[in-house]
Amino acid sequence: MKTIKFLFFLIILGFLGLLGYQNQDYFLATTALNIDLKVKSIHYTAYPLPNYAYWGICFAIAFLYMAFKGMIKSFKLGREIKRRDSKIDTLNGKITDLQERLDVFIHDPYIKNALAKNEAKEAGDTTDETKAQERTPDEAIPEALETETPALDKTAEEDIVTEDAAPEETPEKKGV
């Protein structure tokens, strides 16, 4: 591709050289630029230069103008890149925070058991628990939280006494 571009540039440069060679009378003729604003005090005549110098000056001014516009555009794009990089950093921070929060839920033993049961069911495990539980993973987590919470045994319930209630008023001791 670079070779094709280089050849194309050489062809264009050759045509411009041919144009300049065939029109030497025009490009080598010297002319002076006049500025006359029809006011007696404002009349200026520039130093006579060959026409190729005027062409070169015009191309140089156009090149400088385009370079200046390109620099302005690159500075704007640099600011845009910095702004988007900062936005990416904040979004990566949010992703990290959400991942940490998700890890807390995944490592919760109740949710972990429900996820393990669902994975076993998807893997084709035929235990009684997986056969009995035919529900979606979205339903498994709330049900796992409800059903797998350890209940207090009766000895622990008897030991728990509130400050307001006397030991003889508890329902377990009244029935015994």
pTM: 0.45
- Indicate the average pLDDT of the chain: 78
Length of the chain: 176
Choice between 83 and 157, residue whose per-residue pLDDT is larger: 83
Round to whole Å and give the CA distance between 109 and 152.
Answer: 18
DSSP at 47 = P
Q: Which residues of 5-19 are buried (b: 16+ CB within 10 A; e: fewer)?
A: eeeeeeeeeeeeeee
Going from the C-alpha of 99 to that of each of 35, 95, 105, 113, 140, the distances in angstroms are 72, 6, 10, 20, 21
pLDDT of residue 54: 92
User: What is the rounded distance in angstroms from the CA atom of residue 148 to the CA atom of residue 152?
Assistant: 12
For residue 149, is pLDDT > 50? no
CA 152, CA 119: separation in Å to the nearest integer?
A: 29
pLDDT band for position 174 (cuts 50, 70, 90)? low
Closest CA to 106 of 89, 118, 122: 118
